[in-house]
């Protein structure tokens, strides 16, 4: 896995950017895509916010009522997933025109392995090769802008992890290149939560032990890391040193179908919960039947009072198209939530993925 060059391309504020493109009068204004705020009484969440809206502190997954308090004058729009999916398809097709070794990871982001395009032969050629890779990324961004009138950012790095983190730092509408010999130093000052696999709870535990930055975490031995992270310890030991061997999986088709429902009032009424969930499951089943879509993983999400959100999943050894299997297994997961958590429920949802 040596001498790789990976690009991570991510569209900038994808949903709001499309809305601003389709509605020029919204350009330069704070746009929030998500649930209806209902003058601050709405109970859904923010799907995405334009950079103008982010200046007010609005971000994805924030309660829509809180977003409204931060910026009541913003333009609040319901998601148009049909349009977003169509635009996503166009953008991914543009990227595939530049390289066959591309892995789409969501509607608006993908990895491209350009190692074969720009082979590093020796130290003398290395600088030129990285520069050409950066120029190549610029050509992709230019093509997306010219054909779709949307901006994107790109990280160029020796692996997927570095490329993704570099892309985040390049936003919006920029390129950041981090070469292999720069990766370790690049990571050191960053917050520990920037490392994939370190979530909010783990980060809190680390900070309590004065392990705030990647550099702090790097001081631990491999044995310490394995004690801290279990079976992920060895991988984490190398990640904090800028090493990530995860391959770019070419032509990975991302498919998922999901539905959610936010209750007007938090509830533990079993009849209402089960009735609503069965309808969500039927809608998902109808959609996968119409698309001829097979699934391997079922995920159920529950958001409780106070916005405490949890998921439960089941993955099968073989793909299935059975709506009966979907509905039965999803219901089992929901019932576990109801039994285990004696809290009122704000939102329920079900999603299947290949």
* HEC letters along 279-327: HHHHHHHHHHHHHCCCEEEEEEEEEECCCCEEEEEEEEEEEECCHHHHH
For residue 264, the SS3 value is strand
Here the contacts of 274-277 (C-beta below 8 Å, separation 24 or greater) are 274/331, 274/334, 276/348, 277/330, 277/331, 277/334, 277/348, 277/350
From 141, 107, 145, 114, select the one nearest 130 (Cα to Cα): 114
How far is the CA of 246 from the CAs of 105, 163, 180, 288, in angstroms? 13, 12, 15, 30
Distance CA 15, CA 31 (A): 9
Residue 267, judged by CB atoms within 10 A of its CB (0-12, 13-18, 19+), counts as: middle
In which element (H, E) is residue 193 found? none
Sheet holding 6-11, edge to edge: 102-106, 109-113, 6-11, 152-157, 175-177
Catalytic residue (one of 109, 134, 148, 329): 109
Q: Where are the beta strands (DSSP E) in the chain?
A: 6-11, 31-34, 46-49, 75-77, 102-106, 109-113, 152-157, 175-177, 256-267, 295-304, 309-320, 345-353
182 included as an active-site residue: no
**Whether 222 contacts 229, CB under 8 Å:** no
| Catalytic positions, written as ranges | 109
């Amino acid at each position: 896995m040596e001498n790789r060059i990976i690009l991570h391309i991510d569209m900038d504020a994808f949903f709001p950017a499309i809305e601003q493109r389709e509605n020029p009068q919204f350009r330069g204004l704070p746009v929030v895509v998500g649930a209806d705020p209902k003058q601050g009484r709405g109970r859904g969440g923010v799907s995405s916010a334009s950079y103008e809206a982010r200046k007010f502190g609005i971000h994805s997954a924030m309660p829509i009522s809180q977003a409204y308090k931060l910026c009541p004058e913003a333009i609040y729009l319901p998601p148009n997933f049909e349009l977003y999916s169509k635009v996503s398809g166009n953008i991914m097709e543009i990227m595939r025109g530049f390289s066959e070794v591309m892995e789409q990871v969501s509607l608006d982001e993908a990895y491209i392995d350009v190692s074969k395009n720009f082979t590093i032969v020796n130290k003398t050629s290395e600088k030129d090769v990285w520069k050409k890779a950066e120029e190549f990324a610029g050509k992709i961004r230019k093509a997306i802008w010219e054909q779709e009138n949307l901006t994107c950012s790109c990280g160029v790095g020796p692996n997927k992890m570095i490329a993704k983190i570099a892309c985040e730092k390049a936003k919006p509408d920029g390129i950041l290149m981090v070469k292999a010999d720069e990766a370790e130093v690049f990571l050191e000052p960053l917050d520990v939560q920037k490392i994939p696999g370190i979530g909010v709870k783990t980060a809190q535990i680390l900070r309590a032990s004065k392990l705030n930055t990647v550099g702090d975490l790097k001081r631990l031995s491999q044995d310490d890391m394995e004690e801290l992270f279990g079976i992920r310890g060895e991988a984490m030991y190398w990640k904090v040193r800028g090493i990530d061997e995860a391959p770019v999986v070419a032509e990975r088709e991302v498919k998922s179908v999901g539905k959610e429902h936010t209750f007007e009032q938090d509830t533990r009424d079993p009849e209402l919960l089960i009735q609503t969930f069965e309808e969500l499951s039927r809608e998902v089943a109808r959609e996968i039947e119409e698309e001829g879509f097979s699934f391997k993983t079922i995920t159920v999400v529950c958001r409780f009072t106070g916005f405490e959100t949890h998921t439960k999943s089941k993955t099968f050894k073989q793909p299935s198209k059975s709506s009966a299997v979907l509905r039965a297994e999803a219901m089992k997961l929901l019932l576990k939530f109801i039994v285990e958590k004696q809290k009122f429920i704000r939102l329920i949802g079900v999603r299947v993925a290949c």
